[in-house]
Amino acid sequence: MEYMRRFSVHNPALGSDSDFCRIVSNRTGAVVFDCDYAKERGGVLGYRTRVIGGFSAGGTLALTAGVGQPKGVLKGVVAIYPATDLSIDHTIRPPPSISEGNSNPLPSWLLKLGYRSYISSTTDVLDPRLSPVNTDISSFPERILLIICEEDPLHDEAMVLVERLRIAGLQVDMKEMPKMVHRWDKEAKERTLAGSARHEAYETVVDTLKIMFQ
């Protein structure tokens, strides 16, 4: 069966990934959809969708997109600095070490505020549709790419998910970005360390998508 190369990208800030989407489309030949959350389930994620991805909370959605879907609907997932365990209280955890010249764009109070914006106080944050670390292994596609930032407060929980998926025998590619913070790529300038890291990360996504689309 022949499938359209289709890649859906999710981000809390719709349209903020235009450069990323253009690069992916030009380099892979995929039709790329940059979606807000209202369109995530019913609109874009259909039976012809092969790969889904996202940044930050959008990466969380991408990792849980297979829950309740028939096996094989998704061929791959790309998650870039996702939250993977919403049960963690970051206000009682030490913040990540930040390199000189960096600042933490995701302090614990802002992370907590963000979670409250998406999730009511009565919601079970252990729900596998919210916390990928609790998602059943059978819901994940055959190949997964996670890009994780060394100086991101979400770093350690993502590593736990990577280990769990690898132990289960899934094909998980993980790229850790040294000295990078959450959302570093959105402000990265050319000819800087952050700009080089963004190029490296996006190239990794392109190379992985080409494999996923085979």
| Residue 96 belongs to domain with CATH number | 3.40.50.1820
User: For residues 206 and 140, what is the distance between their CA atoms, to the nearest angstrom?
Assistant: 20
How far, CA to CA in Å, does 198 sit from each of 142, 168, 194? Answer: 26, 30, 6
At residue 34, the pLDDT reads 72
Q: Report the domain count for the chain.
A: 1
Instruction: Please check whether residue 81 lies inside any domain of the structure.
Output: yes
User: For residues 26 and 192, what is the distance between their CA atoms, to the nearest angstrom?
Assistant: 24
At residue 5, the pLDDT reads 57
At residue 142, the pLDDT reads 87
Instruction: Please check whether residue 43 lies inside any domain of the structure.
Output: yes
pTM of the model: 0.86
Residue ranges, the chain, pLDDT below 70: 1-16, 35-49
Instruction: Please check whether residue 34 lies inside any domain of the structure.
Output: yes
Domain with 130, as residue range(s), is 6-212
Instruction: Please check whether residue 1 lies inside any domain of the structure.
Output: no
User: For residues 74 and 49, what is the distance between their CA atoms, to the nearest angstrom?
Assistant: 7
Instruction: Please check whether residue 74 lies inside any domain of the structure.
Output: yes
